[in-house]
Amino acid sequence: MPSYVVTGASRGIGLEFVRQLSASSSNTVFGLVRNKGGARELVGLSGERTNVRILEADVTSPASLKAAAAEVAKVTGGTLEYLINNAAYVQMERREYDLVKYAEESEEDLLEKDFNENFKVNVVGVIHTTNAFLPLLKAAAGKSLVKVITVSSGVGDTGLTLAAHYSAHVPYSASKAAVNMIVAKYAAQFAQDNIIFLAISPGLVDTATRPPTPEELEKIVAFIEAMKPIYPDWDGKPITPEQSVKHVLNVIEKADRKDTGAFLSHFGNKKWL
Ligand SMILES: NC(=O)c1ccc[n+]([C@@H]2O[C@H](COP(=O)([O-])OP(=O)(O)OC[C@H]3O[C@@H](n4cnc5c(N)ncnc54)[C@H](OP(=O)(O)O)[C@@H]3O)[C@@H](O)[C@H]2O)c1
């Protein structure tokens, strides 16, 4: 009866994790959301499936995460086999900015704001979440291999950045590169334990809740154009959350102790698209 906690379960990839994992009635799946009222689809799913439970927590609030962990412990008897750190601040504004553009536009204050917000949620938020659930993860590690997955991004890979000359989306990319290091630090700390830590990129996934504005579309097209020369066989189209999560769950299932600390794509390697 493995149990799973998925953060950012209100929509997009997080919601799809809950949907696919809860399809097996032997799994207990806890979806963490900031606001249950804004998670209509997840609430609907929990009405249909008794193995889906919803808890409210903000990854920037350790107190709310500890309260969520206490609720999970009540249901599971104090254990947790899988934690999926999926929640993130996916910055859309100034996505096209490179490092120099912030100065050219005299927006140095925004540079600081963007870095703070991205790192607060995407890096420190992952640490708060992992630490809040560690007692449960450690308790489960006595019986089976426990897995902590952090959803990262290919744009956090320095090799891809250099190959594609992709200088935009700086604070978000830097936050994903930083969280990959956090995953490696946890892996180093728990190398002798039965807990493995992995960063996995989900691919380019269409999680939009509305059609893009012309400006947003321009930025997405610029990203795709930058990536095409690196992946000439790629059709340039985002995949669906369903396709992405199927791939990622396959990588999670196959992951073993030798993989701990790795940063992998949804294909289980370094092919990001
Ligand atoms: N989509 C892609 O192409 C793509 C590519 C590479 C990597 N990723 C990564 O995949 C993951 C999911 O992406 P997505 O496209 O599904 O994102 P999304 O649609 O923007 O959803 C983000 C999720 O994170 C939650 N969240 C944001 N800030 C939070 C906070 N402070 N506390 C708790 N939850 C918070 C949101 O909750 P609310 O509903 O409350 O806002 C939402 O559930 C992210 O880690 C992202 O970086 C996505």
What is the 59 CA–ligand 1 centroid distance (Å)?
Answer: 11
Q: Candidates 3.30.420.40, 3.40.50.720, 3.40.50.300, 1.20.210.10; correct CATH number of 3-264? A: 3.40.50.720
Query: What percent of the chain clears pLDDT 70, i.e. is strictly above it?
Result: 100
Which residues make Cβ contacts (< 8 Å) with residue 142, sequence separation at least 6? 194
Does 38 score more than 90 pLDDT? yes
| pLDDT value of position 182 | 99
Pocket test for ligand 1, best of 13, 151, 251 (most atoms within 8 A of CB): 13
What is the 192 CA–ligand 1 centroid distance (Å)?
Answer: 31
DSSP string, 197-230: EEEE---SB---SSPPPHHHHHHHHHHHHHHTTT
Pairing mode of beta strands 82-85, 3-7 = parallel
Backbone angles phi, psi at 184, to 5 degrees: -65, -35
Q: What share of the chain is helix, strand, coil (3-state, %, to 5)?
A: 50, 15, 35
Pocket test for ligand 1, best of 90, 179, 216 (most atoms within 8 A of CB): 90
What is the 11 CA–ligand 1 centroid distance (Å)?
Answer: 8
| pLDDT value of position 32 | 99
Q: Residue whose CA is closest, atom 2 of ligand 1?
A: 205
Domains of the chain, by residue range, sit at 3-264
How far, rounded to the nearest angstrom, does the alpha carbon of residue 145 sit from its chain's CA centroid? 20
What is the 37 CA–ligand 1 centroid distance (Å)?
Answer: 17
Pocket test for ligand 1, best of 207, 216, 237 (most atoms within 8 A of CB): 207
What is the 208 CA–ligand 1 centroid distance (Å)?
Answer: 11
Task: Return d(Cα 236, Cα 153) in angstroms, integer.
Answer: 17
Which residues make Cβ contacts (< 8 Å) with residue 233, sequence separation at least 6? none
Cα–Cα distances in angstroms (integers) from residue 123 to residues 9, 18, 130, 171, in the given order: 18, 22, 11, 11
Is residue 35 lining ligand 1, measured as CB closer than 6 Å?
A: yes
Is residue 236 lining ligand 1, measured as CB closer than 6 Å?
A: no
The answer to whether 246 and 20 are in contact (CB under 8 A) is: yes
Does 40 score more than 90 pLDDT? yes
B/e letters for 7-39, b = 16+ CB within 10 Å, e = fewer, are bbbbbbbbbbbbbbbbeeeebbbbbbbbeeeeb
* Catalytic annotation, residues: 172, 176
DSSP string, 89-137: ----TTTT--HHHHHHTT-HHHHHHHHHHHHIIIIIHHHHHHHHHHHHH
Is residue 13 lining ligand 1, measured as CB closer than 6 Å?
A: yes
Task: Return d(Cα 235, Cα 214) in angstroms, integer.
Answer: 21
Please write the tens of the pLDDT for every residue from 208-264. Answer: 999 999 999 998 999 999 999 999 999 999 999 999 999 999 999 999 999 999 999
| pLDDT value of position 23 | 98
Cα–Cα distances in angstroms (integers) from residue 115 to residues 52, 92, 223, 241, in the given order: 34, 13, 20, 27
Please write the tens of the pLDDT for every residue from 117-137. Answer: 999 999 999 999 999 999 999
Average pLDDT over residues 142-165: 98
- Residue from 170, 56, 7 nearest 103 by CA: 170
Is residue 156 lining ligand 1, measured as CB closer than 6 Å?
A: no
pLDDT band at 1 (very low <50, low <70, confident <90, very high): confident
DSSP 8-state code for residue 265: -
Terminal-residue alpha carbon distance, the chain: 33
